[in-house]
Amino acid sequence: MATPVHTTAASQRVFLEHIIDFAGLFPPASLDMKTSVNRYSGYLQHPQRWALGRFVLPVSRLGEFIDVRENDAQRNGAQENAASHPWQLSGILSDRIAADLALVDQFNRKAHGAAIKSVEVRILDLDQLQLVRNHLPSGTVAFVEIPPFRAEEFLPALRQMGASAKLRTGGTSEDAFPAIEHAAEFIARCAEAGVPFKATAGLHHPLRSVRALSYEPNALEGTMHGFLNLFTAAAIAWSATRAGAAVSRTALATCLADADPANWHFGEDALTWSGDEEPMRIDLDCLRSARTKFALSFGSCSFEEPLQDLHGLDLL
């Protein structure tokens, strides 16, 4: 279904700029490589292509990615202008951290019409984090998924090495979704530590709601976080730290729980959220700073579904 075209307010554009990292290879979509590559290529021509972020893939599947891209180029009879428009990728590391990072470095040294600009890795201890630091190729950013409830231990180390955090916000089972209070605490601690983050999984929809957790018939339903909630809460936390004020966990939790689209107003000069006792206004400068320096993106196996939902709520 074609996405309708609407006028985009300045704050909408800032809020959504490069916000969706396309992760079609991962559940619940679990697309094959060819389909994922073809969809991402199509999204680069989408009316809201400015909302598109990186193509996410396991580092272990880089060879498959190269084959698909080269076959497509041969079939189309011409190479894409890789020098001018290289795809930006985010590579998911396995527990073979050093070996995977060597593959990333090797990939980036060759001309494949794409470059791995970031890697994502789940770690359990500071030794693994040091391994990432020792082998991370120059010019590549690390997003590190840290153990729950250990932010106080890990965030200073992430800041020291110039890495970003990663928040897992859902999955295909109910227990994969963090409680509102836990998500609020994560956002607050990242803001206070000055550590950027991205989110992943379970954020297909703008607002907190009960949804099917997969695309299977008769799929289990559960309460999912909304990306509009999450990134607005992040902007609120970022605004507080910029002003030298305390980050209110209560305000963040209230924002994360808000399911009323009428509480969001995207204007030409600010985003205003009215779901608390006092409306919170995030001007364009602060919103742009929050999106480029703090709350960077979220991974989604669908690019069109989040945008279609925004259109359905008359928020885009």
Dist. CA 16–CA 189, nearest whole Å: 23
Dist. CA 12–CA 286, nearest whole Å: 13
Question: What is the pLDDT confidence band of residue 3, given thresholds at 50, 70 and 90?
Answer: very low
Sign of CA dihedral 23, 24, 29, 30: negative
Mean pLDDT of 76-104: 81
Dist. CA 119–CA 144, nearest whole Å: 8
Query: Tell me, what's the pLDDT at 187?
Result: 97
Query: Tell me, what's the pLDDT at 77?
Result: 52
Dist. CA 59–CA 279, nearest whole Å: 44
116-133 per-position pLDDT tens digit? 999 999 999 999 999 999
CB 270 within 8 A of CB 282: yes
Question: What is the pLDDT confidence band of residue 90, given thresholds at 50, 70 and 90?
Answer: very high
| Token duo for residue 167 | 């928040």
Query: Tell me, what's the pLDDT at 316?
Result: 82
* Among 220, 233, 219, 176, residue whose Cα is nearest residue 200: 176
Q: Tell which wins on pLDDT, 283 or 215.
A: 283
| Token duo for residue 185 | 């605490």
Query: Tell me, what's the pLDDT at 71?
Result: 84
Domain 10-311: CATH class, spelled out = alpha beta
Q: What is the pTM of this model?
A: 0.93
Query: Tell me, what's the pLDDT at 72?
Result: 75
Query: Tell me, what's the pLDDT at 75?
Result: 65
Q: SS in 3 state form for 227-257? A: HHHHHHHHHHHHHHHHCCCCCCHHHHHHHHH
Would the pLDDT of 81 be above 60?
no
End-to-end CA distance of the chain: 16
| Token duo for residue 13 | 């554009």
Dist. CA 276–CA 155, nearest whole Å: 29
138-194 per-position pLDDT tens digit? 999 999 999 878 888 999 999 999 999 999 999 888 888 999 999 999 999 999 999
Domain segments of the chain as ranges: 10-311
Query: Tell me, what's the pLDDT at 84?
Result: 52
Would the pLDDT of 33 be above 60?
yes
Question: What is the pLDDT confidence band of residue 36, given thresholds at 50, 70 and 90?
Answer: very high
Query: Tell me, what's the pLDDT at 214?
Result: 83
| Token duo for residue 300 | 């989604």
Helix (H, G, I), strand (E, B) or coil at 18: coil
Mean pLDDT of 75-97: 76
Mean pLDDT of 285-304: 97
| Token duo for residue 52 | 């598109």
CB 113 within 8 A of CB 82: yes
Mean pLDDT of 16-26: 97
Query: Tell me, what's the pLDDT at 150?
Result: 86
Those residues with Cβ within 8 angstroms of residue 255's Cβ, 6 or more apart along the chain or in another chain? 229, 232, 233, 236, 273, 275, 276
